[in-house]
């Protein structure tokens, strides 16, 4: 199991959302908001004074947790409750390889039955273009083979495996952390997990999955969830990758923040 902690919110939120002096792009920049539930969701990037990106995240307004569909529109992942969130221009200027975030609401959860069948949000941070992701469908005669082709071990954090089963159309497949007790028989009820993506032997995204109940519990407690992330030996795509991920409620702004933190640049190799 990777180190996790629950920390006071105040200092973390101030560090995340405070402005900086230095380059013209220093500070926090937001992408265009999308209407979700009774509120909005938008991406943001935090850039340090030297122009180096420090945090990439999604801000979910408190009201976005209300007015959501209560029944799935289809089988498995609810493709009727998905939003493509663009990153602010400053993210690309700062050298981030991420292209977009595919934000999803699953009112009845999704497979595997009994594991993820709780109302929750999926936040896919993709570094492949939307058009490429949308091409991952059964229309491609090799879709099944590509979905089951795992990346080389050096590109996957130790302990992460590709379970048997098909890829999700337009989404890809999912590498899960065998050290996370959530997956163990009789383990704790799912509240949040961090998944690495997989498709056709590549790692194309990172995905926090978080229940609505867990978000609401952070607001009630005034605490934040912070998790240190295991790292692969090498990276297929050059860019900035997180060493931590966190979930918190910002009482001043009335929003939940899901962030990839401690970004470190890696060359492809």
Dig out the tokens for 165 from the structure.
């089963």
Mean of the per-residue pLDDT values of the chain:
90
Residues 205 and 126: beta-carbon distance below 8 Å: yes
Residues 193-237 pLDDT 10s = 999 999 999 999 999 999 999 999 999 999 999 999 999 999 999
Residues 220 and 9: beta-carbon distance below 8 Å: no
What's the rounded Cα separation, in Å, for the pair 133 and 146? Answer: 13
pLDDT at 17 over 70: no
Percentage of the chain with pLDDT > 90?
79
Residues 170 and 147: beta-carbon distance below 8 Å: no
What's the rounded Cα separation, in Å, for the pair 235 and 231? Answer: 9
Residues ≥6 apart with Cβ < 8 Å to 81: 68, 69, 72, 73, 104, 105, 106, 107
DSSP code at position 85: E
What pLDDT is recorded for position 115? 82
What's the rounded Cα separation, in Å, for the pair 68 and 224? Answer: 24
**Mean pLDDT confidence for 51-78:** 86
Helix (H, G, I), strand (E, B) or coil at 147: helix
**HEC profile of 165-216:** CCCECCCEEEEEECCCHHHCCCCCCCCEEEEEEEECCECCEEEEEEEHHHHH
Residues ≥6 apart with Cβ < 8 Å to 154: 232, 233, 234
Least confident of 31-35, 128-132, 163-167, 213-217: 163-167
Residues 97-146 pLDDT 10s = 999 999 999 998 787 777 888 999 999 999 999 999 999 999 999 999 99
Residues 246 and 12: beta-carbon distance below 8 Å: yes
Beta bridge partners of 241: 264
What pLDDT is recorded for position 143? 97
Predicted model pTM? 0.89
Q: Say how many residues make up the chain.
A: 269
What's the rounded Cα separation, in Å, for the pair 257 and 28? Answer: 13
Rg (CA), the chain: 18
């Amino acid at each position: 199991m990777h180190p996790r902690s629950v920390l006071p919110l105040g200092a973390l939120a101030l560090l995340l959302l405070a402005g900086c002096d230095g380059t013209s792009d220093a500070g926090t920049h937001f992408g265009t908001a999308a209407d979700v539930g009774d509120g909005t969701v938008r991406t943001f990037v935090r850039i340090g004074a030297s122009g180096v990106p420090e945090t990439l995240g999604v801000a979910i307004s408190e009201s976005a947790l209300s007015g959501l569909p209560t029944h799935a529109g289809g089988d498995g992942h609810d493709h009727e409750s998905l939003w493509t969130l663009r990153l602010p221009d400053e993210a690309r200027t700062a050298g981030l390889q991420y292209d977009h975030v595919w934000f999803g609401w699953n009112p009845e959860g999704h497979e595997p039955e009994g594991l993820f069948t709780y109302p929750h949000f999926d936040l896919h941070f993709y570094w492949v273009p939307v058009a490429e992701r949308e091409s991952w469908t059964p229309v491609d005669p090799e879709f099944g083979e590509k979905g089951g082709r795992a990346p080389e071990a050096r590109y996957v954090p130790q302990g992460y495996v590709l379970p048997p089963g098909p890829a999700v159309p337009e989404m890809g497949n999912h590498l899960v952390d065998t050290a996370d007790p959530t997956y163990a028989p009789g383990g704790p009820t799912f509240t949040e997990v961090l998944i690495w993506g997989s498709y056709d032997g590549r790692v194309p995204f990172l995905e926090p999955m978080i229940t609505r109940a867990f978000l609401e519990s952070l607001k009630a407690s005034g605490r934040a969830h912070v998790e240190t992330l295991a790292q692969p030996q090498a990276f297929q795509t050059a860019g900035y990758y997180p060493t931590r991920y966190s979930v918190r409620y910002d009482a001043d702004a009335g929003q939940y923040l899901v962030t990839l933190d401690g970004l470190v640049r890696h060359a492809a190799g």
